[in-house]
Amino acid sequence: MSGGGSDLWSRARAVIPGGVSSPVRAFRAVGGEPFFVARGEGAHLVATDGSRYVDWVQSWGASILGHAHPAVIEAVQRAAADGTSYGAPTAREVELAEAICARVPSVDKVRLVSSGTEAAATAVRLARGATGRPKLLKFAGCYHGHVDALLAEAGSGVATLGLPGSAGVPAATVADTVVAPYNAPASILDDVFANHGAELAAVLVEPVAANMGLVAPVDGFLDGLRRRCDEHGALLVLDEVITGFRLGLAGAQGRFGVRPDLTLLGKVVGGGLPLAAVGGRADLMGELAPDGPVYQAGTLSGNPLATAAGLAVLAQLDDAAFETLETTAVALADGLRDALAGADVPAQVTRVGTLVGVTFAPEVVRDYDAAQASDTTAYAAWFHALLDAGVFVAPSAFETLFPSLAHTPSEIERTVDASARVAAAGLAAASLSSRG
């Protein structure tokens, strides 16, 4: 299946840098040309040439109900009829903030923004303003959007393109960023805090790393960060842009029993529209303008269409919905594990709750170094074999599969069968030369 994008691809490259609005969409990590989407339908995407794909990307996790869910479409249409943006308060932004605070115990107050990057940038400024300290601790392979100070050893597209950070980021901008290995042992964390603890404003971490494949926290890692932050007066910021309302109503912090000072939310909470949030303790959130001295603003923050979509999605998510999602994730992970067991390249299929990851490596990945050492050529061969069979997974070895409530056993079977065929054919021998 080609997706019929060649003409659009030529036109796009003429007027858009790299032909895409976000780098990973260009397929450079896997070869070939991207297809162009005409519409989404539940568990599927339909390309501009009519090709139909089972979609495990689901807008990078935002579409937890599946594409074009009737409740979301109705809510957005109803909101749009009243106007698309006002630059003034609305009832729905209050209702969405109330819904978030009611579901996430660590969040007393929340500020709505337009992207995960904006949420991370706000959290960094807020942490520095509240503590009066300059330094940040992040973990290699964790991606917190394209905030200058947080791109050091980031995952996601930065890992996909093999970049250490980004051009255009001055050395001074990252001088106060400390980077440690994800799942670092206690001895390393003790050294980091001994050397930098007095100057640390915040520790930012993905509670489940989902931008270097899918990497679960080892026992004690998150609890150890909470304890050390308390001992040294730093704020713990959990980036739940991916895991928030994905691993349960209280996200990863509810699943692992860790209470952060600040939480970043995105994707699911916006119902597929541009919306994200930063929330936390009332005293910290009170440092934000207009109540406090830490400035943050946004013309489209609390957008009425996005808040309508977010509320519609959260209304659909209850314990039964997450049980269904986890059942789907278990079936997908187990099926892929069996399908790839006989491949000539070792494959690791991981699952954390409702998230699934596939990494071609000899052992389960626990950190960024191991993720970068994985066989990305084998991943690309698997990606294209699935795409040819009408199944779309992330065009990057460092991303995650996102089961939705729209996926059924039929979509799982199609994905597993295609994986079994490519495993039998030989991933190591697959050539990408024809992909361009």
Q: Which residues pair with 128 in a beta bridge?
A: none
Instruction: pLDDT tens for the chain, 436 residues: list them.
Output: 455 567 999 999 999 999 989 988 989 999 999 999 999 999 999 999 999 999 999 999 999 999 999 999 999 999 999 999 999 999 999 999 999 999 999 999 999 999 999 999 999 999 999 999 999 999 999 989 887 777 665 544 443 433 445 566 767 777 788 899 999 999 999 999 999 999 999 999 999 999 999 999 999 999 999 999 999 999 999 999 999 999 999 999 999 999 999 999 999 999 999 999 999 999 999 999 999 999 999 999 999 999 999 999 999 999 999 999 999 999 999 999 999 998 899 999 999 999 999 999 999 999 999 999 999 999 999 999 999 999 999 999 999 999 999 999 999 999 999 999 999 988 876 544 435 4
* Predicted local confidence at residue 176, as pLDDT: 86
Residue 424 to residues 125, 349, 388, Cα–Cα distance (Å): 51, 17, 16
Go through the domains of the chain in sequence order and give each one's CATH number.
6-55+375-435 (3.90.1150.10), 99-301 (3.40.640.10)
CA distances from 279 to 14, 112, 122, 286 (A): 40, 9, 10, 11
In this prediction, residue 168 carries a pLDDT of 66
Q: What is the pLDDT of residue 357?
A: 98
Q: CB-based burial of residue 297 (10 Å sphere; 0-12 exposed, 13-18 middle, 19+ buried)?
A: exposed
Q: What is the mean pLDDT of the chain?
A: 92
The crossing angle, in degrees rounded to 10, of helices 376-388 and 409-425 is 120
CA dist., res. 30 & res. 32, Å (int): 7
CA dihedral 164, 169, 172, 177 (to 10 degrees): -50
**pLDDT value, residue 298:** 94
Give the residue numbers annotated as catalytic, written as ranges. Answer: 143, 239, 267
Torsion angle of the four alpha carbons 43, 339, 398, 235, in this order, in degrees rounded to the nearest 10:
80
Prior bond of 105 cis (ω within 30°): no
Radius of gyration of the chain measured on its C-alpha atoms: 21
d(CA 38, CA 54) in angstroms, rounded, equals 14
Are the beta carbons of 269 and 275 closer than 8 angstroms? Answer: yes
Instruction: Check if the beta carbon of residue 314 is closer than 8 Å to that of residue 321.
Output: no
Q: What span, in angstroms and rounded, lies between the C-alpha atoms of 154 and 435?
A: 27
Select from 32, 72, 23 the least CA-distant residue to 271.
72
Q: Which residues pair with 350 in a beta bridge?
A: 357
Phi first, then psi: give them for residue 420, nearest 5 degrees: -65, -40
User: Residue 163: which residues within 8 A CB-CB, separation 6 or more?
Assistant: none
CA distance 182 to 215: 9
pLDDT at 161: 39
Q: What is the pLDDT of residue 1?
A: 47
